[in-house]
Chains A and B, each alone.
Chain A
Amino acid sequence: MKGWCVSLWPPILMLILCSVHTNSLKRCLISVDMRFIEKSFQGIKRELQAKDTFQNVTVLSILESPKNIKPADVCCVTKHLLTFYRDRVFQDHQESSPQIVRKISSIANSFLYMQKTLHQCQEQRWCHCSQEATNATRTVHDNYDQLDVHSAALKSLGELDIFLAWIDKNHQETSAA
């Protein structure tokens, strides 16, 4: 009897850890207003995507299928993509329109806030990065490097709706859970 009870402990613990890990993204992003970011992007979506001349290339191809990213890797991938946008996309993009610059700056600030939140989660070991998550992030960088810097940055900005929808979907799933 005692052995039977003891044998139940590891699965129970695993279940608890999995649920905690699944909810890690929710805990990290619960205070972020995603709708505000989406509205900011909708205001400049037309101008950004109209300039994209490479319709057959996708930078965030890893996010196309939900099977590509495991739930446990969601936090890590989100963190890496936020870093990608902060360090490369926003830096490489050159915009002349002040209205677009204002909107992009607003989105960038929101991304910085999300990064800080995820960093706290990482310190608490809630945002573990597996090898698969690291590989997925590398694919994004490779896609970015296929194009010239200006086109790549422009396309990556045009794909912000994909990135935001993916975060929103994972956030909703975790919050509903």
Chain B
Amino acid sequence: MLARLLLSLAALGGPRWSSGAHGTELPSPPSVWFEAKFFQHILHWSPIPNQSNSTYYEVAILKYGKEDWQLLPNCSQRLVLSCDLTLFTLDLYRSFGYWARVRAMEGSQHSNWTITKTRFTMDEVTLTVGSVKLEVHKDFILGTIQPPRPQITPEGDAYENIFEFFRQYKIAIRKVPENMFTVYTVPHENFNLSVPGKWGEFCVKVKPSVASRTNKAEWSEEQCLRLSQQYLTVTNLSIFFTLFLLLCGGLVFLALQNYVRSKGKLPAVLDFKKPDPFIPNNLPCPEIYNTIHILGPEAFLKVSPEPRDSDLHGSTDSGFGSCKPSLQTEEPPFLLPGPEPQSQGTLGKGESPELQDSHSNGSSNSTDSGICLQEPSLHRGPGLSWDQQVRSASHSQDDSGIGLVQNSEGKLEHTQCQSALGHISILEPKVPEAEDPAVMTFQGYLKQTRPTEETASSGGSLDENPLTNDLGPKPWTCLQAETGWPLPALAKGYLKQDSPGLGVAPTRAAAGQWNQLTEEWPLLALASCEDLSLTSWRFTHGLGSLDCVVAPIGLLGSFDSDLVNLSHISSLNSKE
């Protein structure tokens, strides 16, 4: 029973089993592939493991669609791992392709066939060029590409016939010893490359392609040639000739000129003329800085009461809340020759000290600049309402500027004047038209001379936001402390302060005098509180307000002899 089974099995798989028995003894080649160029079709295969010296390989090909495989005995050589199948595949470019297979043989033993992974067609042919001929012609490199011309090529199957359309070539050129190539694409076998103005050694290589196909391609070998510098070119010759003509023309011109000059006669007697009386020998030097100009009140009338927009005002304010004396640091509107304020003509007698003091007070160091706004409520009602307004404004602001704010204990608090001004500026930045700013300024000071009870009674006026009543930038009036810290009258209050550290209580007379001053000199209203800067606003009880009051007056101390002392006081206060 078992024998019959074995026999039947042998009969069924006889030939295969017998071949398989041999095949199984030898392993089949791992891989088989084609490496083809134009009419150069080479079949490669990898060797079997542990092959011996007697191992050889059988190769067979099959034209796609045909029935039988064709065995190639010429490829069956010992230890040879490739075979040229070109002769057996001449119609590759006009057929569907070929299949190829390989098996190992050793004696009577053989392995299984290993077939190519893909059908071998012209798509797998790597494109190359036969040769490249280069010539140098002036600044051009003329090239001629020769397609591959294998001898085995059948008649009518030239490269140009097989790949009839869309042939193109990439030309890569580099200058020795650089390694950077410049690549051009040309559609024909003839090309010319221009290298104007360049000489030296150049290397060229070519790579073919067919635009309508996906064939791989290889670069040709580099061919190098040398371009020598052309000196005797048409351009060079023409330039040389032109220069030569110009040179000759110039020489002729010079010769003629010399000849003409030689015709002229020399004077018999040399006559030295007297100097021209109209030409002054010693020109008077202008003295710019020696004159002292005394400015009268007319000069100050030219000052615009409106705030100016300038970079000096540019801190955080729009210009209305800055506290910098515009007369001091900005371009003066009145006629002062010379750049230095010290050497300039003063505003009046005693002006320069004030100016100097104001400078020394550190007003120039103020962060604020420009014109300080004034409350219209100062013009109307009690001044203490101003305190409340400013206090609310200052509390509502972030850090910016310094302003007088009264706390619940009656002490002066330092806040940025600018903040209050900024608050005010936000309310109404427009320029006032109807009211006199000078009057409003002094009314502010007048208010501050009153005690606390007046503040409560007048608190409502500020709540009405008087600045919104079409009042624009107003001259700054410093806030005065609340009860117990009335603003002293400017003139007399400051006049009384002979020694530093003494608080001077403002009086009504001083306030009135200040009011009168501002009426006469509206510039006072414009005086910005540069003293409101950090350095100058050192508030002490009863003195901080004086600083504020003093600063504007300091600028104009020349107007009144009493005001001269104010600058001294302000300087003392600033130092404190």
Contacts and interface: CB of A to CB of B under 8 A. Distances in A.
A106 to B, nearest CB: 15
Contact of B214 (A38, A46, A64, A162): A38
Contact of A49 (B66, B119, B213): B119
B165 interface: yes
Nearest to B66: A56
Given A38-B214, A64-B96, A158 B65 contact: no
26 contacts: A35-B211, A35-B212, A35-B213, A38-B213, A38-B214, A42-B214, A45-B118, A46-B118, A49-B119, A55-B62, A55-B99, A55-B119, A56-B62, A56-B65, A57-B65, A58-B64, A58-B65, A64-B65, A64-B95, A159-B96, A161-B123, A162-B96, A168-B212, A172-B165, A176-B164, A176-B165
A97 to B, nearest CB: 16
A46 B117 CA distance: 6
Contacts of A158: 119
Contacts of A55: 62, 64, 99, 115, 119
A129 interface: no
A172 B65 contact: no
Nearest to A162: B96
Given A39-B214, A42-B214, A168-B212, A58 B119 contact: no
Given A56-B66, A161-B123, A176-B164, 9 more contacts: A35-B213, A42-B214, A49-B117, A49-B119, A52-B119, A56-B62, A165-B123, A168-B212, A176-B165
Across the A-B interface, the 9 shortest Cβ-Cβ residue pairs: A58-B65, A55-B99, A49-B118, A172-B165, A50-B117, A56-B67, A49-B119, A46-B118, A162-B96
Interface residues of A, number: 25
B358 to A, nearest CB: 85
Interface string B150-167: 000000000000001110
Majority secondary structure, B binding face = loop
B123 to A, nearest CB: 6
A34 interface: yes
Interface residues of B, number: 22
A52 to B, nearest CB: 8
Interface string A133-166: 0000000000000000000000000110110010
Interface in A32-76: 34-35, 38-39, 42, 45-46, 49-50, 52, 55-58, 60-61, 64
B121 interface: yes
Contacts of B121: 161
A45 B68 CA distance: 24
A137 to B, nearest CB: 18
A34 B62 CA distance: 29
Nearest to A59: B65
Nearest to A49: B118
Nearest to B101: A55
Contacts of A168: 212
A9 to B, nearest CB: 34
B118 A61 contact: no
B43 to A, nearest CB: 15
Interface string B90-129: 0000011001000000000000000101110101000000
Nearest to B122: A165
Interface in B187-225: 211-214
Interface of A: 34-35, 38-39, 42, 45-46, 49-50, 52, 55-58, 60-61, 64, 158-159, 161-162, 165, 168, 172, 176
Interface in B136-186: 164-166
Contacts of B117: 46, 49-50
B212 A34 contact: yes
Nearest to A58: B65
A160 B258 CA distance: 94
Nearest to A42: B214
B217 to A, nearest CB: 15
A35 B214 contact: yes
B123 A42 contact: yes
Contacts of A176: 164-165
Contacts of A39: 214
Contacts of A35: 211-214
A169 B256 CA distance: 81
B273 to A, nearest CB: 96
Nearest to B65: A58
Contacts of B64: 55, 58
Contacts of B95: 64
A168 B212 CA distance: 8
Contacts of B164: 172, 176
Contacts of B123: 42, 161, 165
A45 B64 CA distance: 15
A36 to B, nearest CB: 10
B118 A50 contact: yes
Nearest to A57: B65
Nearest to A53: B115
Contacts of B213: 35, 38
B66 to A, nearest CB: 6
Nearest to A159: B96
Contacts of B66: 56
B214 A58 contact: no
Contacts of A57: 65
A49 B116 CA distance: 10
A127 to B, nearest CB: 23
A34 B96 CA distance: 18
Output the residue of A46, A55, A162 with the most chain B CB within 10 A. Answer: A55
